A and B are shown apart, each in its own frame.
Chain A
Amino acid sequence: MTRDETAADSFFTRHQFLIYRLFSLAGLLPVGAFLVVHLLTNSSILGGAESFQDRVDTIHGLGPLLVPVEIAFIFLPILFHAVVGFVIIAGGMPNVGSYPYAGNIRYTLQRASGMIAFAFIVWHLVHLHWLGAPFRGTALPGFDPHHASSTLAVAMASLGMNLLYAIGMLAAVYHFANGLWSLGITWGVWTSPAAMRRANWLSVGVGAVLALAGLGSLVGIRRIDVDSARALEERRGEARRMLEGGVPATPAAVSADVGT
């Protein structure tokens, strides 16, 4: 491949350093941080429908702020990270066949996992998020935050879907964990080979925890009994409607509803 740039430098070229650093930062904050929160939240499903619903309700407690927050701190950063990421991928020439070193394999996997994770996120939105509702139709019921566990269990019923989620989630986790290590070099947090090795264990640890959380969520979903979960969610829904309707409730009921 040859490159023969003659046109005046584009905005992208002129601000390459800043853009790449923002790209790197975005991978950690807020995108990476969101991934951590998301996966850990999901894993609460291991504690049963009630515990999961608690977490979901907490997030949805943001109410009308939720959408702008999602757009500003999740969708736009992911989109930015993805667009710059694709530019970076297009500019590189992976050569793991000639140089099968560990670092090079990780470099190549970082790019592959980024692309897989991005495709997966798009699918994930179509599958479960309100943004994807217009694309879903009736065949895919999607995720209802008020019936978190039951709708999720229905959506995740097939083994194939579990496999798809496992792959997508692991790609995202690898991308984040390895990216964390790489980010430390980019910003100069760890500079010596020994420090890089130590940082490597850190990223392995982070990745292992997140992978376990993600896989645990999948297991947790499979353990959900749809009918009993729905019954629980209905009961909680009634309680919530009563609260919203201004009907007085016992203090115990309030504390049970808000949860932690």
Chain B
Amino acid sequence: MIAPAHSSDPSSSGSGEEQRAIRVRILRQDAPGQESYWERHVVPYEPNMNVISVLQRIAAGARAADGRPVAPVAWDCNCLEEVCGSCTMLINGATRMACSALVDRLLEDGEEIELRPMSKFPVVRDLVVDRRRLFRGLEKVKAWVPVDDSYDHGAGPRISPEEQEDAYPLSTCMSCGCCLEACPQYVKIEPVRRDGEAPEAFAERRQGAFDRGFVGAHAISQAMLFNSHPTGKMIADERLETLTAPGGIQMCGNAQNCVAVCPKGIPLTRSIARAGRSATLWAIKRLFDR
């Protein structure tokens, strides 16, 4: 997104003490299909910085560490409060949100901060990746309550506090993609448009490729969220059909990285195990009902 930059008042750094600098190494890529390359940047240290503010300074400066003018580094962000899910990237090798990655903590690990784009999604530019496949997963599992319409039909179903406490954490999933990035079973799918291929044909082929790949922990968890909702469960079978289709729940390898990296602490493995149970019962039922 758009990247405003603010450095603190210049007088703040002129208090006589030596100016500390933050060294950053960024894996850049100008466009899809192009070679990636490392670029070093140096940013003056300020207290309480996070990776976003470092990137804002880099964008404003538009100069590499050696002073060479370079195009500003592109990255995704919006809320900067860790609720919108935009700014996922690999920071010092691991997936996380850039807004809640504090520079002081990162510098405890080493002298230099390393930033790379997510590796499981096609790079658009620099740290910006194309996460359409993630949202396609939500379409596939029908992650919605199938209401008749948006007119007034009175309140929704009664729900016990226990059910609400069960559902609420799942509903805080912000589609950041950390669970997918860390999942060893989730493999990058990056179809390339062929010569002479119509955009629509390409989009269809890409969607087909997405749909055969692993749907991922986030979508499985959303399917379980809606399969537990009194109205949502009216199409539970359709969701289970998707979860047992190619790329479904069977692709999970129980590495459980998803739950370990989830910035919102969503019990993803519980959702996966519940989906496994539902799928088991559903498959048996189908076997004998047919």
A residues at B contact (CB < 8 Å): 1-6, 9, 13-14, 16-18, 20-21, 88, 91-95, 97-99, 101, 103-104, 106-108, 110, 182, 185-193, 196
Contacts and interface: CB of A to CB of B under 8 A. Distances in A.
B268 to A, nearest CB: 11
Nearest to B245: A17
A192 B166 CA distance: 11
A98 B209 contact: no
Nearest to A18: B283
Contact of A9 (B246, B270, B273): B246
A191 B274 contact: yes
B246 A191 contact: no
Interface string B246-276: 1111111111110011000001011011111
Interface residues of B, number: 47
Nearest to A98: B93
Given A88-B253, A98-B94, A185 B269 contact: yes
A17 B281 CA distance: 13
Interface stretch (B11-19, B59-67, B182-190): B182-190
Given A2-B189, A20-B250, A95-B182, A193 B270 contact: yes
Given A3-B189, A17-B283, A99-B94, 6 more contacts: A2-B189, A17-B248, A103-B255, A185-B272, A187-B277, A191-B277
A138 B260 CA distance: 54
B205 interface: yes
B190 to A, nearest CB: 5
Contacts of A95: 182, 184, 257
A103 B260 contact: yes
Contacts of B267: 193
A1 B188 CA distance: 7
Contact of B280 (A94, A98, A187): A187
B100 interface: no
A127 B188 CA distance: 42
15 contacts: A1-B187, A2-B190, A5-B212, A16-B250, A16-B251, A17-B246, A20-B250, A21-B250, A88-B253, A91-B187, A99-B94, A99-B182, A185-B276, A187-B280, A188-B281
Closest 3 CB pairs of A and B: A188-B277, A103-B256, A107-B255
Contacts of A185: 254, 269, 272-273, 276
Given A185-B273, A193-B269, A196-B273, A101 B256 contact: yes
B220 interface: no
A18 to B, nearest CB: 8
A101 B256 CA distance: 8
A32 B65 CA distance: 58
B189 A91 contact: no
Contacts of A98: 90, 93-94, 182
B279 interface: yes
Nearest to A20: B250
Contact of A91 (B185, B192, B279): B185
A93 B119 CA distance: 11
B117 interface: no
B216 interface: no
Interface of B: 90, 93-94, 182, 184-185, 187-192, 205, 208-209, 212-213, 244-257, 260-261, 267, 269-270, 272-281, 283
A9 B209 CA distance: 10
A185 B212 CA distance: 23
B256 A188 contact: no
B78 to A, nearest CB: 26
Given A14-B246, A187-B276, A191-B273, A104 B256 contact: yes
A91 B275 CA distance: 21
Contacts of A5: 208-209, 212
A99 B187 contact: no
B261 A3 contact: no
B257 A103 contact: yes
B187 A192 contact: no
A186 B256 contact: no
Given A95-B184, A187-B276, A188-B280, A4 B191 contact: yes
A104 B270 contact: no
B178 to A, nearest CB: 11
Given A4-B209, A9-B212, A13-B246, A103 B254 contact: yes
A107 B260 contact: no
A139 B190 CA distance: 54
Contacts of B250: 16-17, 20-21, 186
B257 A101 contact: yes
Nearest to B250: A20
Contacts of A182: 254
A108 B209 CA distance: 26
